[in-house]
Structure 1
Amino acid sequence: MSTEKTSWLKTVIEPLRPVMRELLAASLFINLMALAVPIFVMQVYDRVIGHNGTATLKGLVIGVGVLMAFDWIIRTSRGRIMQTAALRIDVEIGTKLFDKIMHLPLRTLESRPASFWQTLFRDVDSIRNTVSGSTAVLLTDLPFVLIFLGVIFIIGRPLALVFVVLFVAFLVLAWRSGGAMKESTGKEKNVQQARDGLVAEIIAGRATVKAVALDRAIRPIWEEKQAGAIEQSIQRGAVNDEYVNLGQMLTMLGSVALTTVGAVFIMDHDLTMGALVACNMLSSRLYGPINQLVGAWKSFSSFRQSVDRLGEVFAESEERRHSAIERERPSGLITLEDISFAYDQKSQAAASIDRLEIHPGGITAVLGRNGSGKTTLLKIILGLYHPAKGRVLLDGADIAQFTRAELAGWMGYVPQECVLFNASIRDNIVYGAPGASDEDILEAAKVAGVHQYIIDLPDGYGTSIGEAGSRLSAGQRQRIAIARALLGNPPVLLLDEPSASLDRQAEEDLRTTLAELGKTRTVIIVTHSPVLLPICRDVVVLDKGCVAAAGPAAETLQRLFGARPPQQPPAQPPHPQSAPQPAPHVVSQPAAPLGGGVRIGVGGVS
């Protein structure tokens, strides 16, 4: 493990040093008291049986009984120490990871699949189990193996050479198994992540999978990934079994060699029967931890991989967490200067804007064909995407100096795909502004036009909406998302295709709502709806990430379509093939950018 990837773990382990010292002290006493039974057996064989020493036997039994009671107490205490360490590690690393993920830029979160971020929280469990579980106990017991080796030298010196040879053999076996297990465990982890990623995608899109019967196409892919995971698991298990079996064979070989050599020395009167029996008992304490180490390399490999993965995430740059000074509520003036943004180095720029200014108040529509950069523009304004160059200004201040919480409080956002959580309607609305009063929640729901629907439900605002809002229609989810964005009364409101899931009547209600919101807020909407366009003050047309045309809605749309847009929507919804579609016209015959930069506001374009 590299130093950069493990430095974060030191900050977590450092406060646990007192706990670790208590653990080592408890392990020392436990291992010292483990000598009691072999010494007891040796004394019984050498002094009690041969001399008929009943009184000596009683004393030895009482002494061993007292030591066993102390051993139970210390082992119990060590278990509680381990539980304390596990709790601290869980809280410390889990909280640190959650905070880190919440403060990572959106592009960083989108650069990896959802299964990767889920794996990180399983990595926390892996680290906890290694640092505070049976593996940690094994590591604390390993240094005390030398105590048993020293005692064997004292009571059975003729057998010392046998123990040294076997001890070295066990160390070589543990070292070789470590390298083999690291490689096989890494391969197994990689194929399991690929399989889990596919399963996560299938579950996330389960409605589409069922509706289109995609199981026939997905099944071969899943079978291939599952077969790869099984194959790697079998290979890893075979490697592990090979070294574990070698360790068990060495243990049996050690017992045979120890007994054989001991018998020879007993016949030569260089060793007592009790010493041989005691050395045989101590051999299990000597070889046991090393033999367990051979089987524990899988845990160590998983621990190293988990530490490296978390280290990579903790090393990622994050968004600003604190502002130097608390700013007043902005009026909603938005300015983009020399913006350039691309999703990666190989792709072309998804947004390239010299200058774009949106004045406070009123509704601005963003038009353009699919892939022209409309949603990307909204996310740049929100500060979710950070441009490679240029800056976004809110009331003349660069938004890079503000925290995510401040920007979210000033700019409400309703994405095209509204994501709700498996909680009540009230909770989903209040997530936008924790601590908001019931009056604020009701006002936001009324403005969003969802209040009447909610109060008709048996549980009202306490109604559970199911996973991702599955118990609600798409339009209802969108209305709740609008209410969530309005909570806290943000001066800027951005909506991505807000009428996409609404029927005609709901769309007209939304038009009325947006018209009222536009009187006191800066409202930016991505839409092609003929119902919403008439209420827009200004229009921005995008083509391949660039501003193709911009200005007052009446003038800009007249120039694009050759006629003024209707002031009121038609009584009946137009046929899909005959409905006006601004985006294709903009792309096929884009208007030239005006003067190298665009200013949008009541005063027009400059």
Structure 2
Amino acid sequence: LSLVANPDTTAARLETKPEGFGAVLRTALGRGVVRRALFLSFFISVLGLVTPIFVLQVYDRVIFHAGLSTLYGLVVGVVLAAVFDYVLKQYRARIYQSLGVRLDVVTTEALFKRLLHLPLAELERQPAAHWQSLFRDLEMVRVRFAGPIALLLVDLPFVLLSVALILVIAAPLGWVIAVIVLAFLLLAWASSRKAKARAGEEKQAQLSRDGQVTEFASARQVVKAQVLDEAVTTRWREAQHQSIEATLQRSVSTDRYRDLGQMLAQGATILMVTVGALAILNQEMTMGALIAANMLSGRVTGPLNMLVGQWRTLVAYRQARARLDALFQSPIEKSGGSVPLAESKGELEIQHLQFRYPGAVNDVLVALNGRVGPGGLHGLVGPNGSGKTTLLKILAALYEPSEGRVLLDGADVAQFARRDLAQWIGYLPQAVQPFAGTIRENITMAWPQATDDDVRRAAGRAYALDFIHDLPDGFDSQMGEFGLKLSAGQRQRIALAGVLVRDPPILLLDEPTSDLDREAEAGLRDELHALSRHGHTILIVTHSAVLLSVCDGIIALRKDGRLRAAGSAGEVLPELGLVRADGDTE
């Protein structure tokens, strides 16, 4: 362990892909889907005009002229049109059903992969409920492109066909239909303004409520042990009340505009019939034209009224799309780039390192320079909040330094992908989070090709082999959700075995014995000491005298994140007052 001072150069650590969520959507939608839908909707809309024209001809030709042969011909034609209309609608429905499935598959996989490639610091900035809500945002995307709103949007342009036919067969009603369309558009615009504000409030309230549920699920042992029922219930009730209030306010607004739309549609019928009746009395149009125009007006007001009612869905989609775009435009970890190292000799170096959390006022780590390794067992000590865990995350390339850089065997770690770094640097967090599954699955999750010998060796090095053999199912024992079928110390050793299974030359361990008993701590100390003597570079954050007693070097941080001391354990421990008069480590 030594101190160095080198010039600061910083490489690009993250990748940015500016295309956003749009690229994912284009892949999911494929080519020609929208064109096919518009093409089918055009013919469906044309066929929808057949019935009003049929009614017009029956009233104006068949009834007044007793044209039975004409009636039979018209009936045959309208039946054929109805059958063809049904076939086209079924075909269009199949297109949207297939599109919905494709959207679900492509977008959910893209979102999950995107989350996996986000930097750890970005993932920690938002609560778990936020990331879960993004998958609900995908449901709004599916509804927009493969749900009722998608059909509405492709049908809307062809409302003009009905308007044009009204102008042809019932010209005196032209101004009426123009006023109706304008009124509906104004109503939709007013609805959109209200829906935008209400939807945002409702989303935030739901996130807060879901966050309370997530907190309870994660801390259920503490809740039960400390009898926090009333406190948790109070917090949840407040969040639930805000969610219900926001939903109620949105529902009131939505219902108001929906009812206004229905009233406007009724008013449109009354106005059409009234003006049409006056035109008939003035011999400006026929009875058949009035009835047909009234039917056509329903084809105009129906989609427009639906647009008013569905505007909340469109607003929710736009907000969901904005969140997804922001996520897909944010920087991600490198997926490739530099030629990886053939092997690592286990030397880590930091140069002019500083770190500040986003939005924070003060730096957590200040002006750190140093080198660890190759080889040896080194301790990282300091008071709570001095930045020990943060430093380990930076060394593991989980955090990006605000200034300075980290070198692995003289190469900036910023040039390597996380997958490559994981081969050389193993990191054990202070709070381990096992996955549901067997012990073997948890140990080999990061390296599925591990052999049985690899698994046993890793478990032995983590001082976990004995207790695993004592379990009825051994390595096939189920750990349960969050690993709760095992003790905290057992979970910690299983997690350490998962780090050791790939045998990385550098190990960064954050309080690896915090949940272990004295016997297990001593056993793990011996295993780590043996690893350090076989070429591994091990840096441990610890307050344990058992581990400090075998450390070769010590790095001590101050409360303000600056270096207090660094050097051999024999030099630094007495300076820190961690050695008793008899020479034993306290």
* TM-score, scaled relative to structure 2: 0.91
Deviation at 1:43, TM superposition (A): 2.3
Amino acid aligned to 1:548: R
Distance 1:279 1:458 in 2: 80
Using the TM superposition, name which of 403-412 and 557-566 deviates more.
557-566
Distance 2:93 2:495 in 1: 48
Greater relative CO, 1 or 2 (CA 8 Å, sep 6+): 2
Distance 1:249 1:71 in 2: 30
Distance 1:280 1:462 in 2: 72
Q: Is 2:536 aligned against 1:524? A: no
Superposed, 1:161-240 pairs within 5 Å as 161-240=175-254
Distance 1:218 1:5 in 2: 41
Residue 22 and residue 566 in structure 1: after superposition, are their counterparts in 2 closer, same or farther (change >3 A)? Answer: farther
Distance 2:137 2:64 in 1: 58
Q: In the alignment, what sits opposite 2:444? A: 430
Superposed, 1:139-178 pairs within 5 Å as 139-178=153-192
Using the TM superposition, name which of 522-531 and 38-47 deviates more.
38-47
Pick from 317, 333, 337: which aligns with 2:347?
A: 333
Superposed, 1:545-564 pairs within 5 Å as 545-561=561-577, 563=579
Pick from 385, 388, 392: which aligns with 2:399?
A: 385
Deviation at 1:380, TM superposition (A): 1.4
Deviation at 1:424, TM superposition (A): 2.3
Where does structure 1 lack aligned partners over 5 or more consecutive residues? 570-579, 581-606
Distance 2:284 2:326 in 1: 60
Distance 1:63 1:265 in 2: 30
Secondary structure in 2 matching 1:340: strand
Distance 2:220 2:579 in 1: 45
Superposed, 1:503-514 pairs within 5 Å as 503-514=517-528
Secondary structure in 2 matching 1:531: helix
Residue 567 and residue 490 in structure 1: after superposition, are their counterparts in 2 closer, same or farther (change >3 A)? Answer: farther
Pick from 541, 557, 572: which aligns with 1:542?
A: 557
Deviation at 1:13, TM superposition (A): 4.2
Secondary structure in 1 matching 2:549: helix
Superposed, 1:54-203 pairs within 5 Å as 54-203=68-217
Pick from 248, 257, 281: which aligns with 1:267?
A: 281
Distance 2:131 2:462 in 1: 33
Deviation at 1:477, TM superposition (A): 0.7
Q: In the alignment, what sits opposite 2:408? A: 394
Q: In the alignment, what sits opposite 1:596? A: none
Where does structure 2 lack aligned partners over 5 or more consecutive residues? 1-15
CA RMSD, 1 decimal: 2.3
Distance 1:499 1:12 in 2: 44
Amino acid aligned to 2:328: F
Query: What are the superposed Cα offsets for residues 14-73 of structure 1, whole Å, 9 maximum, x if unpaired?
Result: 453411101101111111111122222222233333444443333322222222222122
Distance 1:323 1:359 in 2: 26
Distance 2:168 2:370 in 1: 86
Q: In the alignment, what sits opposite 2:50? A: 36
Using the TM superposition, name which of 264-273 and 163-172 deviates more.
264-273
Residue 424 and residue 37 in structure 1: after superposition, are their counterparts in 2 closer, same or farther (change >3 A)? Answer: farther
Secondary structure in 2 matching 1:296: helix
Pick from 8, 12, 17: which aligns with 2:20?
A: 8
Using the TM superposition, name which of 495-504 and 187-196 deviates more.
187-196
Count of residues in Structure 1 that have an aligned counterpart in Structure 2: 567
Query: What are the superposed Cα offsets for residues 111-146 of structure 1, whole Å, 9 maximum, x if unpaired?
Result: 121211111121111112112211111111110000
Query: What are the superposed Cα offsets for residues 295-353 of structure 1, whole Å, 9 maximum, x if unpaired?
Result: 11111111111111122222222222212213211110111121111224543221124
Using the TM superposition, name which of 101-110 and 248-257 deviates more.
101-110
Superposed, 1:402-551 pairs within 5 Å as 402-520=416-534, 521-544=536-559, 545-551=561-567
Distance 1:304 1:186 in 2: 11
Distance 2:578 2:463 in 1: 35
Q: Could you tell me whether the CA contact under 8 Å between 1:492 and 1:523 is conserved in 2?
A: yes
Secondary structure in 1 matching 2:333: coil
Distance 1:330 1:35 in 2: 75
Q: In the alignment, what sits opposite 2:271? A: 257
Q: In the alignment, what sits opposite 1:576? A: none
Using the TM superposition, name which of 258-267 and 127-136 deviates more.
258-267
Secondary structure in 1 matching 2:503: coil
Secondary structure in 2 matching 1:229: helix
